[in-house]
A and B are shown apart, each in its own frame.
Chain A
Amino acid sequence: MILTEHGVYLRERVLELARAGVPFSDRTIKKNLFSAVARATYAVADIIAPVCSYNATWERFYGVPDDRIMVIYNGVDERRFDDRNFRPERPTVTAMVRIDPLKDIETLVASAPFVRERFPDVVFDIWGPIHDEAYNRQVVELVGVLGLEECVRFRGSTSDPAAAYAEASVVALSSISEGFPYSVIEAMMCAKPVVATDVGGAREAIGECGTVVPPKRPQRLAEALCDMLARPEEAVLVGKRARERALELFTLSGCLASYRALYAEVASAVPVGARA
């Protein structure tokens, strides 16, 4: 059995429980249930394939030995996410996220006034479906409270994310928990500079080709965004380097080849009689 864990299951469930405000007894029961599911799955899996090295630290904490962990990075299609060499007229900060508390869009919205102070015509484009209706209302309310209706635009889902990335001056991610964020490597593949919070595998993905900031720090996020927007030429160079890194490490073909090799290796270790 091969377990591919895109986030860290237990970590995300605990954050959900924390936010949901469930009574203590429910929370304890649910946490124990989730914990039992996660630990049982770790125990029976032959190989656990996290999508970044950072997540492996959590799996080790939950008792998985090193020799059963094999990191395989996510990959994206380099033909679909291409470098369109497009520079938007207005400074544009793009986020490609579902509207969900784990993505902490409030922090991104809260950073907007700071950015707007230096770039009055800046626009924040938030792409992605609504995953949590209550949280969406909360974020929209925050936009109203901060008077950002002209600055922050909720663009909804898109079937052509590459086009959305192309319109960006810089791509932002403000999550409080991540596995190995697709939006980061897609943006990198599209040759866009990225500013992301330092959670999960974000730092590992970005390397030297972008900026990481602590989560839940709107001002720090704003500073990093302003830094990119203030030096557009350099931002373009950062974007080019990001695509080179993505082509080297995060291609879909590379990812699939790694999984195929892993499946073959595990399958060859299983006795013939057990395969039926």
Chain B
Amino acid sequence: MSDDRDAFEPFERREHAVESAARTIVALSRRDRFGIGWRPKGVDEVAILLESLGYSPEVVAELWYPDLFALARDVSTAVNRYVTDEERREPPTLDWFTQTCRDYAIGSLYSAPWIVAVIGLAIFGASLWSSLSTPLHLATAIALGVYAAQIVSGFFSQGIARRLTFYFLQANDSLMAWTVRRFVAAGLLTTAVVSAGVFAGLAAFVGYSDALLSALFCAGTAIFQLALAPLYTLRRFTWIVALAILATAITGGTFVFIFHRHVDVPWEPATLAVEVGLLGAAILASTMSWLARRAARSGAPVPPALDSIVRSTFPYALFGALYFTSILIDRIAAGIAAANGRGFAYASAYELGADIALLAILPVVVVINVMLEALPRRILKGAEGAIRDLEKFDRSMLRFYGWGILAVATATLFAVLLGEVVGPRMILSARLGTIGDAALSLAVLRVAIPAYGLVMLGLLNTQLLFFLSRPRAPVIGTAAGTIAALATCGWALAVHLSAEAMVGGLLASALTFTAITTVAAVRTMRRFSYSYYAAY
């Protein structure tokens, strides 16, 4: 027995030496004030520091390593362990105003592509181009392609976000790469199938050119949205902003300098779709290659069963698809109404009102992100309390949720006022065909803003419920919302109401979705501690 122990002693000594080297490097980093967040990154940096600490070839050989780099490989793994421990410290306390501003700034980053696109296209003088300066048949084809893409990308983006977040928080590079590869492959395959379906379904009605345009917009938009999904989850905001600027510059530049702000034939807007799609593909390729490189350093993953991944993410993905369906039904119904019994035609005036409403609602989106940024801090504070404090903690979380509702309501009110002030000017400057069209846009805008405000409240509920691993209510909410929109719009079409009436479908969908998720959120937040512990 004693001999066995002796035999292992050199290994133990070596292990101690590696741990000691790692601790020394971490301690040295602190003592020398190497800077905030400075830590050796990669084997070469660890080797450099080890060498400067006196790990000469003789010392390395004494530890049974063939060279400095082999030792550095083991030490860099150990360094990560110590660095992780050291960095788990309480974040600095900021006063509520500074903290809110900070959260607002970070929250805005989630909406960065939207903001960049709006500002960029405004600079190019190309805002709402598909609504205004495009022949009707092209706008119709584009709209159908984009609708399909949003539903597909909504499904896969939510799936990726759910699973990737899980591995991201564990810093499990191997499984992050594993997950993204599979979800992206499935997403691309589905995009291809849906795009082909769009082409096949439309070709007989609108001709091959317009059907191809629609399919290209479906593929291009879906690929780009799919490409951004992992970046959101990994919180690569700099990249997201940079890529949004790049995409806007490329498409805006093409539209202004090549097409001179007007597209007449299908290949012209198709070029824009191809540009967006190619950029999305490049982003996907570089993200996956980056993840693969990180994964290669972490060793081979032990993959989970694919069907269990699919089962666990399906409700979230289904929510993504249903959510977009529920907020698009009114636009499709407006298109049917605008076609006067001849199928579907892009309802420019309706779309303009709804798009301006979406822009006006942007401050509400950011409010939600502020809430979500603040949530982990609240939980951390509660988690530090004793068991007897749980009731107090639950009350504080319910209060937090109440403040959230109030903030969303206030921001929605602000959006309504903003819509009232800016909306008519934007509609009038859009040079719609008739005064009647302008009136229709304004009527849609006035209903759509509060409706989208309600949707945002529903999204806040959804995010809170997702955080607690409770996807059922959001899925039921969006499904019921979809049915409500279908029923309302179906009735409106059946009694031959005008396109303007279809905004009622949006309102019905928003009310249903928000009511269901609010009930679920209130019930959950009242027993937050229980829900939280049950979730993890």
Chain A interface (Cβ < 8 Å from any Cβ of B): 10-11, 14-15, 17-24, 27-28, 31, 54, 57, 61-62, 176-177, 197-199, 203, 212, 214-217
Given contacts A23-B36, A24-B37, A27-B38, 5 further A-B contacts (CB under 8 A): A14-B48, A18-B38, A21-B33, A22-B38, A216-B54
A138 to chain B: closest CB distance in Å?
11
- For this complex, 13 residue pairs linking A to B, each with C-beta atoms less than 8 Å apart, are A10-B44, A11-B51, A14-B48, A21-B38, A24-B36, A27-B35, A57-B68, A61-B69, A176-B52, A177-B48, A177-B51, A197-B54, A198-B54
Interface residue? B67 (CB, 8 A): yes
Task: Give the contacts of B222-260 with A (CB-CB under 8 A).
Answer: none
Interface residue? B34 (CB, 8 A): yes
Interface residue? B281 (CB, 8 A): no
* Chain B contacts for A199, CB-based, 8 A: 51-52, 56
Known: A27-B38, A31-B41. A217 touches B32 (CB 8 A): no
* Chain B contacts for A14, CB-based, 8 A: 44-45, 48
Question: Which chain B residue lies CB-closest to A220?
Answer: B54
B26 to chain A: closest CB distance in Å?
13
Query: What are the nearest 7 A-B pairs in CB distance?
Result: A214-B54, A24-B37, A21-B35, A176-B52, A198-B56, A215-B54, A11-B48
CB atoms of A20 and B35 under 8 A apart: yes
A62 to B69, CA, bound (A): 11
* Chain A contacts for B53, CB-based, 8 A: 215-216
B25 to chain A: closest CB distance in Å?
10
Interface residue? B515 (CB, 8 A): no
A24 to B44, CA, bound (A): 17
Known: A198-B56, A215-B54. A18 touches B37 (CB 8 A): no
B253 to chain A: closest CB distance in Å?
27
Interface residue? B59 (CB, 8 A): yes
Interface residue? B358 (CB, 8 A): no
Interface residue? B476 (CB, 8 A): no
A57 to B56, CA, bound (A): 13
* Chain B contacts for A177, CB-based, 8 A: 48, 51-52
CB atoms of A15 and B37 under 8 A apart: no
Using an 8 Å CB-CB cutoff, how does the interface string of B48-80 with A read, 1 for contact, 0 for none?
A: 110111101111000000011100000000000
B47 to chain A: closest CB distance in Å?
8
Q: How many A-B residue pairs have CB under 8 A?
A: 70
* Chain B contacts for A23, CB-based, 8 A: 35-37
* Chain B contacts for A62, CB-based, 8 A: 44
* Chain A contacts for B59, CB-based, 8 A: 214
CB atoms of A21 and B44 under 8 A apart: no
A134 to B365, CA, bound (A): 49
The listed residue (B29, B45, B56) touching A203 by CB distance below 8 A is B56
Tell me which of B47, B56, B59 has the highest count of chain A C-beta atoms within 10 A of its own C-beta. Answer: B56
B387 to chain A: closest CB distance in Å?
39
* Chain A contacts for B48, CB-based, 8 A: 11, 14-15, 177
CB atoms of B51 and A18 under 8 A apart: no
A17 to B29, CA, bound (A): 12
Question: Which chain B residue lies CB-closest to A12?
Answer: B48
A71 to B180, CA, bound (A): 46
A65 to chain B: closest CB distance in Å?
16
CB atoms of B35 and A24 under 8 A apart: yes
A245 to B52, CA, bound (A): 27
* Chain B contacts for A15, CB-based, 8 A: 48, 52
A11 to B32, CA, bound (A): 18
Question: Which chain A residue lies CB-closest to B59?
Answer: A214
A46 to chain B: closest CB distance in Å?
24
* Chain B contacts for A203, CB-based, 8 A: 56-57
A19 to B52, CA, bound (A): 12
CB atoms of A217 and B54 under 8 A apart: yes
Tell me which of A21, A28, A203 has the highest count of chain B C-beta atoms within 10 A of its own C-beta. Answer: A21
The listed residue (B34, B47, B52, B54) touching A21 by CB distance below 8 A is B34
A272 to chain B: closest CB distance in Å?
40
CB atoms of A19 and B34 under 8 A apart: yes
B231 to chain A: closest CB distance in Å?
17
Question: Which chain B residue lies CB-closest to A54?
Answer: B57
A153 to chain B: closest CB distance in Å?
27
Known: A18-B49, A215-B52. A28 touches B41 (CB 8 A): yes
* Chain B contacts for A19, CB-based, 8 A: 32, 34
* Chain B contacts for A20, CB-based, 8 A: 35
* Chain B contacts for A197, CB-based, 8 A: 54
A112 to chain B: closest CB distance in Å?
19
Task: Give the contacts of B1-54 with A (CB-CB under 8 A).
Answer: 29, 32-38, 40-41, 44-45, 47-49, 51-54
A62 to B43, CA, bound (A): 11
* Chain A contacts for B58, CB-based, 8 A: 198
B440 to chain A: closest CB distance in Å?
49
Tell me which of B47, B49, B52, B53 has the highest count of chain A C-beta atoms within 10 A of its own C-beta. Answer: B52
A106 to B54, CA, bound (A): 15
A28 to B56, CA, bound (A): 27
Question: Which chain A residue lies CB-closest to B69?
Answer: A61
* Chain A contacts for B40, CB-based, 8 A: 18
B91 to chain A: closest CB distance in Å?
16
A61 to B51, CA, bound (A): 14
A130 to B36, CA, bound (A): 28
* Chain A contacts for B37, CB-based, 8 A: 23-24
* Chain A contacts for B51, CB-based, 8 A: 11, 176-177, 199
Question: Which chain B residue lies CB-closest to A19?
Answer: B32
Question: Which chain A residue lies CB-closest to B51?
Answer: A199
* Chain B contacts for A11, CB-based, 8 A: 48, 51
CB atoms of B41 and A57 under 8 A apart: no
Question: Which chain B residue lies CB-closest to A202?
Answer: B56
Question: Which chain A residue lies CB-closest to B55?
Answer: A214
B62 to chain A: closest CB distance in Å?
12
Question: Which chain A residue lies CB-closest to B238?
Answer: A25
CB atoms of A18 and B36 under 8 A apart: no
A81 to B281, CA, bound (A): 63
The listed residue (B34, B41, B52, B69) touching A216 by CB distance below 8 A is B52
A20 to B32, CA, bound (A): 9
A215 to B56, CA, bound (A): 9
Question: Which chain A residue lies CB-closest to B56?
Answer: A198
A21 to chain B: closest CB distance in Å?
3
Question: Which chain A residue lies CB-closest to B47?
Answer: A61
* Chain A contacts for B35, CB-based, 8 A: 20-24, 27
B69 to chain A: closest CB distance in Å?
5
A254 to B53, CA, bound (A): 33
The listed residue (A21, A57, A176, A216) touching B67 by CB distance below 8 A is A57
A61 to B71, CA, bound (A): 13
Question: Which chain B residue lies CB-closest to A21?
Answer: B35
* Chain B contacts for A22, CB-based, 8 A: 35, 38
A21 to B32, CA, bound (A): 8
A204 to chain B: closest CB distance in Å?
10
* Chain B contacts for A57, CB-based, 8 A: 67-68
* Chain B contacts for A214, CB-based, 8 A: 54, 56, 59
A76 to B532, CA, bound (A): 72
Question: Which chain B residue lies CB-closest to A11?
Answer: B48
Question: Which chain B residue lies CB-closest to A57?
Answer: B67
